[in-house]
């Protein structure tokens, strides 16, 4: 797995995708990491960074899908081309992508890591669920996905036959997927302060254990936990 690096990167673009913003950064020499891993993005005017999974890793760019739900995320959504921010990553543990019968399952802003995962895996089947039709506009990031809007639940789109599920979404959705398929790979969402296991701010209870999502996750039942080591000689001051 690639070692995380702290760098500054220039904004190369920002576009609306339904209620969300797709923030594009110049990639430079940064490794995008594995599908399901994340970066901590610095927020201008705020002390604490915010975690975002890699949404797209196109040539020369990294993109992150942001839901403007609070002051910090709104600041990120308002950044313009040419501005720069610091970021740290890739962090956490990603999906196992070498599965034989993949099915990607996303709910709401949980669609964020799935475009990158889908491209890395050769565009397997994808099912997505959203609360509103405006949120569902984000399905355009994963062409060919089967989409539902409440009251239909995304778990209703999971077929009865055996599949290898890679999921991301709100906790109720993930627990429902886990109840249906205990071996599913689940990328959990949680507030994070440090991104490397020091603060325990992202700990959750899962299968009777307390797990730090930034280290043991965010993908559970995925790759085995790896505590990242920072390559000091590659760290650049912000």
Overall pTM > 0.85: yes
Say whether pLDDT at 52 is over 70: yes
Nearest Cα residue to 106 out of 50, 174, 205: 174
Judge contact between 177 and 155, C-beta under 8 A: yes
Nearest-5° angle of CA 188, CA 129, CA 67?
A: 60
- Chain centre distance of CA 11: 19
Q: Are residues 111 and 53 in the same domain?
A: no
Q: Are residues 148 and 88 in the same domain?
A: no
Q: State how far the Cα of 66 lies from the Cα of 61, in Å rounded to an integer.
A: 16
Cα maximum dimension of the chain: 52
Predicted local distance difference test score (pLDDT) of residue 210 = 75
- Average pLDDT estimate for 69-90: 95
**How many domains, the chain?**
2
- In three-state secondary structure terms, 141 is helix
Domain that holds residue 18: 5-92
Which domain CATH number covers 140? 3.40.50.80
Q: Are residues 28 and 135 in the same domain?
A: no
Q: Are residues 15 and 71 in the same domain?
A: yes
Judge contact between 63 and 24, C-beta under 8 A: yes
Query: Is 228 contained in some domain?
Result: no
Say whether pLDDT at 94 is over 50: yes
Question: Which one of 92, 120, 150 terminates a domain?
Answer: 92
Predicted local distance difference test score (pLDDT) of residue 237 = 32
Render pLDDT for 3-24 as a digit per residue (tens, 0 to 9): 888 999 999 999 999 999 999 9
Q: Are residues 111 and 80 in the same domain?
A: no
- Average pLDDT estimate for 80-86: 96
Render pLDDT for 132-188 as a digit per residue (tens, 0 to 9): 999 999 999 999 999 999 999 999 999 999 999 999 999 899 999 999 999 999 998
Query: Is 225 contained in some domain?
Result: no
Q: State how far the Cα of 217 lies from the Cα of 139, in Å rounded to an integer.
A: 25
Say whether pLDDT at 236 is over 60: no
Say whether pLDDT at 63 is over 80: yes
Render pLDDT for 183-234 as a digit per residue (tens, 0 to 9): 999 998 877 767 766 776 777 777 777 777 777 768 887 544 444 433 333 3
Which domain CATH number covers 61? 2.40.30.10
Query: Is 230 contained in some domain?
Result: no
């Amino acid at each position: 797995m690639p070692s995380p690096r702290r760098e500054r990167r220039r904004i190369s673009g920002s576009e609306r995708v339904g209620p969300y913003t797709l923030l594009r950064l110049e990639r430079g020499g940064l490794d995008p990491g594995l599908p399901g891993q994340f970066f901590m993005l610095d927020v201008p005017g705020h002390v604490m960074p915010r975690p975002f999974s890699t949404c797209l890793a196109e040539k020369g760019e990294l993109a992150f899908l942001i839901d403007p739900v609070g002051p910090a995320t709104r600041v990120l959504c308002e950044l313009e081309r040419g501005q720069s921010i610091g970021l740290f990553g890739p962090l956490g543990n990603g999906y196992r992508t070498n599965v034989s019968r993949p099915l990607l399952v996303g709910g709401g802003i949980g669609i964020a890591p799935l475009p990158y995962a889908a491209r890395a895996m050769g565009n397997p089947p994808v099912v997505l669920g959203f609360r509103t039709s405006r949120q569902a506009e984000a399905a355009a990031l994963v062409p060919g996905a089967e989409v539902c809007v409440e009251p239909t639940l995304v778990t209703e789109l999971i077929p009865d036959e055996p599949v290898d599920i890679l999921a991301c979404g709100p906790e109720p959705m993930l627990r429902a997927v886990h109840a249906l398929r205990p071996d599913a790979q689940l990328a959990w969402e949680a507030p994070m302060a440090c991104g490397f296991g020091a603060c325990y701010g992202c700990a959750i209870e899962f299968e009777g254990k307390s797990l730090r999502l930034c280290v043991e996750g965010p993908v559970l039942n995925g790759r085995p936990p790896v505590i990242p080591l920072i390559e000091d000689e590659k760290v650049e001051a912000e």
